[in-house]
């Protein structure tokens, strides 16, 4: 099963309010993932995405007064392979394009917060559950990253994002089954 996630905004390397920055990234992925689970085979799992379901392959986490629904979980025995395309306004290879810290930041934005300290102060708690790609980033088994110079920097300027930290990112997600179960059978195609 494959799909794409898109991100458009800043990826700060060492922000002063790291939890809030990661929360802002999560909130860009949330509506995309919420839309994804409306489609097969994800919609078959929606019945489990409630607090305290019985015999659930989904792990709904209740952290900081918010329900978090990761769609790739150890209970479901799914893993992820990610192919990240980072396009930014800078010429490739300049010292400011710190790829390893940017990748860490984006991976933190794809996973569920692990405790209350990882939830940003401005994270909305009245929109229902917040969807994340991963329960934890240990479920990523393959990662590739390609950085390129986005030749049309006008896109960033039009969105007030013409900074060295601005990124347009496409993440190809390949969901794989680690161990076959009845719950993850639809993902084996």
- Res 110 pLDDT > 90: yes
CA 95 to chain centre: 26
Tell me the residue range of the domain where 138 lies.
2-188
pLDDT in tens, 13-61: 776 788 899 999 999 999 999 999 888 887 776 665 555 555 555 678 8
CA dihedral sign, ordered 151, 146, 38, 64: negative
| Contact yes or no for 137/74 (Cβ under 8 A) | no
- Res 129 pLDDT > 70: yes
pTM: 0.83
State percent of the chain over pLDDT 70.
80
Which among 89-93, 109-113, 179-183 has the top mean pLDDT? Answer: 109-113
Number of domains observed in the structure of the chain: 1
Q: How far is CA 21 from CA 8, 10, 17, 78, 109, in A?
A: 13, 9, 6, 27, 9
Asked if residue 41 has a cis previous peptide bond (ω within 30° of 0), the answer is: yes
């Amino acid at each position: 099963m494959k799909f794409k996630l898109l991100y458009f905004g800043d990826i700060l390397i060492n922000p002063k309010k790291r939890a809030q920055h990661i929360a802002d990234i999560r909130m860009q992925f949330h509506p995309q993932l919420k839309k994804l689970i409306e489609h097969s085979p994800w919609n078959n799992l929606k019945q489990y995405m409630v607090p305290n379901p019985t015999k659930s392959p989904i792990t709904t986490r209740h952290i900081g007064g918010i329900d978090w629904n990761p769609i790739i979980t150890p209970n479901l025995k799914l893993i992820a392979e990610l192919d990240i395309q980072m396009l930014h306004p800078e010429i490739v290879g300049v010292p400011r394009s710190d790829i390893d810290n940017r990748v860490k930041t984006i991976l933190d934005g794809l996973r569920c917060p692990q405790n209350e300290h990882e939830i940003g102060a401005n994270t909305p708690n009245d929109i229902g559950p917040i969807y994340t790609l991963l329960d934890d980033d240990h479920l990523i088994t393959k990662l590739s990253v390609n950085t390129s110079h986005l030749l049309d920097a006008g896109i960033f300027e039009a969105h007030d994002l013409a900074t060295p930290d601005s990124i347009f990112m496409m993440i190809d997600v390949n969901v794989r089954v680690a161990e076959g179960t009845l719950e993850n059978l639809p993902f084996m195609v």
